[in-house]
Amino acid sequence: KTVSVIGLGYIGLPTAAVFASRKVKVIGVDVNQKAVDTINRGEIHIVEPDLDIVVRAAVTERYLRATTVPEAADAFLIAVPTPFKGDNHEPDLSYIQSASKAIAPVLKKGDLVILESTSPVGATEQMSAWLAEARTDLTFPQTHGEQSDIRIAHCPERVLPGHVLRELVQNDRVIGGMTPKCSEQAAALYKIFVEGECVITNARTAEMAKLTENSFRDVNIAFANELSIICDKLDINVWELIALANRHPRVNILQPGPGVGGHCIAVDPWFIVSKTPGEARLIRTAREVNDSKPEWVINKVKLAVAEYLQENPDKTAKDVTIACYGLSFKPDIDDLRESPALQIAIDICDWHEGIVNLVEPNVESLPSEFEKRANLVSLINSIDNSDINVILVDHKEFLTSVELFKKNTYLIDAKGIV
């Protein structure tokens, strides 16, 4: 049996590598020639602990090979991005459509096609229609029901970046077949490496389950973020408050922060809102609360600068040095994409006339957005030489430096580490 993984990104590549580590022949397909070449050299183009070791072994032992053109296989796993378009947050399924078109010519009777990408409800049915449309080997393509000659299922990924290799194997897996036979065949495939349970449902429920998991987290973080804004107004320490409330046996509040980042939690809830705008009121509001948090932090920084200038009348804004600690979207990773911390740092660079120091222990250079408008400096160099210190991410390096931060009069601590 051969498995083909379409899309070799944060989910597709680890999945391909794990199948290959179980001695399954894997053909990885990606439109990015550079990524394909990197993988074929036994190297990786993304950051994920231990992934390099597994990919190198898989390629050396010839179980994994990458290409830009799909080839025949027995199972196809589609793990392409599903972003949203524009300001109205409508899901963009064009990558799924292209992947369907690309594999249609190599599909044969009995093949299994699994959609792993996080998708709005109905996307698997849509994919099945696109496959039928694009297939040229059938006069009357039958893609629905048990009569279909191929099997289609939605099996959403649920792994946490930074722990992908462990969670791929250990997490339970939701298997949503278009029919019971589709589910059965998909479950048998995942059982090759999944040690968790493969729980069977239908495609629509599987789609909604994945969106529900991330919306649950988003709503709960929004609750914490709203509390932080309320507590600030009422002069209450929100971190102490949450710790106290969490002592109740049935209360478990998450942590506030500068906003919600990453490519999943800040995106997936919109897939529910766009399908049912009238009903998804809480889910929409949670998104809005979390999306507005960076602005709130920025206003705190502006207030601190004003206060500093009032207390130091001999200085002007040009003389004030602001330092931001952390740019990534969560602690101890180097991923800056969709990061509220990065958004805040860029905004500060836009309006601040003085020096901006950025401390991000997980990167070696600053992204192009900063173009010489800020300096990447070490924690030690920054803390003694900056007037306003803004903690945006709870990286381990910062947690062990709490005493240093304590000396600072003008401190904005969005993660409550001090």
Which residues form the interface with ligand SAJ (CB under 6 A)? 118, 157-161, 213-214, 217, 221, 254-255, 257, 260-262, 264-265, 329-330
Is residue 264 annotated as a catalytic residue, yes or no?
yes
284 or 415: whose CB is closer to ligand SAJ?
415
CB of 150 to ligand SAJ, least distance (A): 26
30 or 157: whose CB is closer to ligand SAJ?
157
155 or 355: whose CB is closer to ligand SAJ?
155
CB of 33 to ligand SAJ, least distance (A): 25
CB of 160 to ligand SAJ, least distance (A): 4
Residue nearest ligand SAJ, CB atom distance: 264
Is residue 210 annotated as a catalytic residue, yes or no?
yes
264 or 320: whose CB is closer to ligand SAJ?
264
CB of 273 to ligand SAJ, least distance (A): 16
| Catalytic hit among 182, 210, 324, 415 | 210
CB of 260 to ligand SAJ, least distance (A): 4
In three-state form (DSSP H/G/I as H, E/B as E, the rest C), the secondary structure along the chain is CEEEEECCCCCHHHHHHHHHHCCCEEEEECCCHHHHHHHHCCCCCCCCCCHHHHHHHHHHCCCEEEECCCCCCCEEEECCCCCEECCCCEECCHHHHHHHHHHHHHCCCCCEEEECCCCCCCHHHHHHHHHHHHCCCCCCCCCCCCCCCCEEEECCCCCCCCCHHHHHHHCCEEEEECCHHHHHHHHHHHCCCCCCCEEEEEHHHHHHHHHHHHHHHHHHHHHHHHHHHHHHHHCCCHHHHHHHHCCCCCCCCCCCCCCCCCCCCCCHHHHHHHHCCCCCHHHHHHHHHHHHHHHHHHHHHHHHHHHHHHHCCCCCHHHCCEEEECCCCCCCCCCCCCCHHHHHHHHHHHHCCCCEEEECCCCCCCCHHHCCCCEECCHHHHHCCCCEEEECCCCHHHHCCHHHHHCCCCEEECCCCC
161 or 176: whose CB is closer to ligand SAJ?
161
**Which residues are known to be catalytic?**
210, 264
